[in-house]
Amino acid sequence: QSDQVKYKHPVPYLLSVGRLEGRKNQSFLVDLWGELVSEDYPIPDLLLVGRVGYNGEQILNHIKAAKLENKII
């Protein structure tokens, strides 16, 4: 049995790889995506891939508060 896991996501998307941390300004991406979604721009999904680090929970809470769970994964 393979240890490899395959993930499928419909394209297009923007991929950000790295630990979720407040110091990395990922909350700026959340704000930007929120602005673009509210303006009805045809934007791709934002995939944030990485472990939750220092202040990472705040970023996840920010995504939920902005109701962007369907655009930021």
Confidence of residue 6 (pLDDT cuts 50, 70, 90): low
Task: Report which secondary-structure segment, H or E, holds 16.
Answer: strand 13-17
Give pTM, 2 decimals.
0.79
Residue 42 is predicted with a pLDDT of 87
At 27-51, the pLDDT tens digits run: 899 999 999 998 888 889 999 999 9
Which DSSP letter does residue 47 get? E
Mean pLDDT of 11-27: 89
Task: Give the pLDDT band (50/70/90) at residue 1.
Answer: very low
Q: Given pLDDT bands bounded at 50, 70 and 90, which one contains residue 4?
A: low
